[in-house]
A and B are shown apart, each in its own frame.
Chain A
Amino acid sequence: MQLVRNNFGKVITTIIMGMFSLVFLVPLVWMLSAAFKFEKDVMRFPIQWIPESINVVYNFKAVWMGRVPFYLFYGNSIKVAVITTLITIVISSMAAYSLTKLKFRGRNIVFLALLSFMIIPDQATLIPRFIVIRWLGLYDTHIALILMSMFSIYFTFLLRQFMMSISDDYLEAARIDGASQGRIFLSIMIPLCKPVLATVAIIKFIWTWNDYQNPLIFLMDKLNYTIPLGMTFFRDDYSNNYAIMMMAALSGIIPLVILFIVLQKQVIDGIALGGVKG
């Protein structure tokens, strides 16, 4: 009897929470439906959740083949996010390996320095970083964006945490067999770290993809814009055309939502990883 009552309660809670989750998603559902509508229907009340007349082709063309076509932003975002992610993985995994498995004088000092630099907010060093980028002649290039986000002490620490949990015995065995340190890193450590590397890579990719502040400061030419910065173009030039703006927002959000739904376990684990280790 107790069991039946518990299950019944669970069903009711699920239904209530299900309804709440739908309300929670209303802004995104509204965006989706507005992206399909004629502009004159977007702000009509009561809201037509399923549009009576559909104008999605026009909206899509305006966003993707307009004056500054969205596919350019896509290309830029993919380029910057993929390259940044790959370089971050290389830099951070090498640093993490050195901090955990190689023994040498000064290692702890480097570790403590990195740890203390973690509290420096990016925004506090924005001005000098901008000046450095200008000195290097890299203003308004994607290299500037990559340089800004490829060094990540945070990811180094996440990887360090994981590598510490890998027993030295594995590495010792290889060393006795005569493998060099570089070889041990590449053919033993990296394969052992694959799951955590995948997780870290996805999180880094999402963060870089969504970055707004760096593109805003380091880019000028619209042709170089990444997706979040490209949204400003629709805010300014289509401020009275919400159907097109919602199509742009949808186009910006959809790849990450798909990526997330496919790789939800890695993404959620990756976020929780940072949280639990703190």
Chain B
Amino acid sequence: MEATKQTLIEREQRKRFWTPARKEAILGWLFLLPEIIGMLIFNVFALGFSLYLSFSSWDLLSGMSGIKFTGLDNYIRMFQNDPTIIVALKNNFIYTILTVPIPIAISLVLAVIIHKKVYFKDYFKVTFFIPYISSIIAIAAVWSALFHPSLGPINQFLMNIGIENPPRWLVDPNMSLASVAIISSWAGLGYTIIIFLAGLTNISEELYEAAEIDGANGLQKFFRITIPMLRPTIFFLLITMLIGSFKVFDIISFLTEGGPHNSSTVLVYRIYEEGFVNYNMGYASSISWLLFAIIGILTALTWKLNKDE
């Protein structure tokens, strides 16, 4: 009696279109719809279209009909006839070396000090973080004055302490990239400190107490406990900063425009130059794919390294 009633209700529900499960599914898709539309246009379509353009030659001003399929021409040009791409790649690698390991090491030390060895912890957090939340462009404007080759306070100071020919910083082909790296490392330091502090609060105090009982000194505790326990944090920072450093654009575009003599040009700046200054949409797309490939490989490599260990 009870069982037949149950099946009757079930049949009744199946006949009806708006079952609770179906309602939930439709609502689920509706809630995801805006995100999916955005993803389809700006990721799926955009990626496909730029892949197609990367095998074409297209001056934006000639309209859609001006797209000409040119096969591998762009890629051949990139590696054989365009020395600026090699320069940009080299600069990207130098910039990464300057802005990833060094700031990570400095901010790790600062974070450990701020975490337990000072009063007014919040003051230090706020102070080091202020450049990070400030517009990097406004920061760059300030540093462009500080780095002024003849009148700037930095060089006046250096000359004052007896250095006769201080570097000409942003206008010196040998120093422009390093100068940009100094500015962005300074501006980004607060971020790495905050991430390290979050990691440090997760390390159990007992580990340090046990080590102290065993007679470990400060340095031993740092290398035997702090660093191993912070491994996931260090890995996270390494991968995000590595990828971030390959995307550097803002500060270079604002301060040096890749110069002088391409000494500070990077891949994204080349994309910008080709696409939005010269309107070579095809060639700019090829460089975009080179960038995408490099970032993809770097991400895969770092993940693999982390898993293997």
Chain A positions near chain B (C-beta within 8 angstroms): 9-11, 13-14, 17-18, 21, 24-25, 27-28, 30-31, 34, 42-43, 45-47, 90-92, 94-95, 97-99, 102-107, 110, 113-114, 117, 119-132, 148, 150-151, 153, 156, 181-182, 185, 206, 209-210, 212-213, 216-217, 227-229, 231-232, 234-235, 242, 245-246, 248-250, 252-253, 256-257, 260-261, 264, 267-268, 271-272, 275-276, 278
Given that A260-B133, A267-B133, A272-B197 are contacting pairs, would A248 and B141 also be in contact in the complex, using a CB cutoff of 8 Å?
yes
Q: Is B284 an interface residue (CB 8 A)?
A: yes
Given that A91-B38, A123-B291 are contacting pairs, would A256 and B299 also be in contact in the complex, using a CB cutoff of 8 Å?
no
Check A127–B198 contact: CB distance below 8 A: no
Our pick among B135, B157, B271 for the contact of A256 (Cβ within 8 Å) is: B135
Check A21–B127 contact: CB distance below 8 A: yes
Our pick among A104, A130, A245, A256 for the contact of B276 (Cβ within 8 Å) is: A130
Given that A110-B36, A128-B53, A231-B254 are contacting pairs, would A256 and B117 also be in contact in the complex, using a CB cutoff of 8 Å?
no
Q: Is B17 an interface residue (CB 8 A)?
A: no
Q: Is B39 an interface residue (CB 8 A)?
A: yes
Q: Is B247 an interface residue (CB 8 A)?
A: yes
Total CB contacts across the A-B interface at under 8 A: 277
Q: Roughly how many angstroms separate A29 CA and B57 CA in the complex, as a whole number? A: 50
Chain B positions near chain A (C-beta within 8 angstroms): 21, 23-25, 27-29, 31-32, 34-36, 38-39, 41-43, 45-47, 49-50, 53, 60, 113-114, 117-120, 122-131, 133-139, 141-146, 148, 151-153, 156-157, 160, 186, 189, 191, 194-195, 197-199, 202, 232-233, 236-237, 243, 246-247, 249-250, 253-254, 268, 271-272, 275-276, 281, 284-285, 288-289, 291-292, 295-296, 299
Our pick among A13, A206, A228, A275 for the contact of B138 (Cβ within 8 Å) is: A228
Residues of B within 8 A of A119 (CB): 295-296, 299
Check B131–A256 contact: CB distance below 8 A: no
Q: Roughly how many angstroms separate A10 CA and B115 CA in the complex, as a whole number? A: 12
Our pick among A11, A27, A110, A131 for the contact of B49 (Cβ within 8 Å) is: A131
Q: Roughly how many angstroms separate A6 CA and B67 CA in the complex, as a whole number? A: 72
Query: Which has the most chain A C-beta neighbours within 10 Å: B35, B189, B275?
Result: B35
Q: Roughly how many angstroms separate A107 CA and B143 CA in the complex, as a whole number? A: 48
Given that A17-B113, A123-B249, A124-B291 are contacting pairs, would A25 and B127 also be in contact in the complex, using a CB cutoff of 8 Å?
yes
Residues of B within 8 A of A242 (CB): 145, 148
Determine chain A's interface SS by DSSP, over half rule.
helix
Our pick among A97, A131, A227 for the contact of B281 (Cβ within 8 Å) is: A131
Known: A14-B118, A256-B134. 11 other contacts (CB 8 A): A21-B128, A28-B134, A102-B27, A119-B296, A123-B271, A131-B49, A132-B45, A210-B133, A217-B276, A227-B135, A227-B138
Check B32–A132 contact: CB distance below 8 A: no
Closest Cβ of chain B: how far from A48's Cβ, in Å? 11
Given that A123-B291, A151-B38 are contacting pairs, would A272 and B136 also be in contact in the complex, using a CB cutoff of 8 Å?
no
Our pick among A30, A95, A229, A257 for the contact of B134 (Cβ within 8 Å) is: A257
B151 (CB) vs chain A CBs: closest residue:
A43
Check B46–A125 contact: CB distance below 8 A: yes
Q: Roughly how many angstroms separate A30 CA and B142 CA in the complex, as a whole number? A: 8
Q: Roughly how many angstroms separate A252 CA and B139 CA in the complex, as a whole number? A: 10
Residues of A within 8 A of B291 (CB): 121, 123-124
Check A121–B254 contact: CB distance below 8 A: no
Query: Which has the most chain A C-beta neighbours within 10 Å: B43, B198, B281?
Result: B43
Query: Which has the most chain B C-beta neighbours within 10 Å: A10, A229, A271?
Result: A271
Residues of B within 8 A of A148 (CB): 42
- A–B pairs, 23, beta carbons within 8 Å: A17-B124, A43-B148, A43-B151, A94-B31, A98-B27, A110-B36, A121-B295, A123-B288, A125-B43, A127-B284, A128-B45, A128-B46, A181-B23, A210-B137, A212-B137, A213-B249, A231-B141, A245-B145, A249-B142, A252-B138, A257-B130, A257-B134, A260-B129
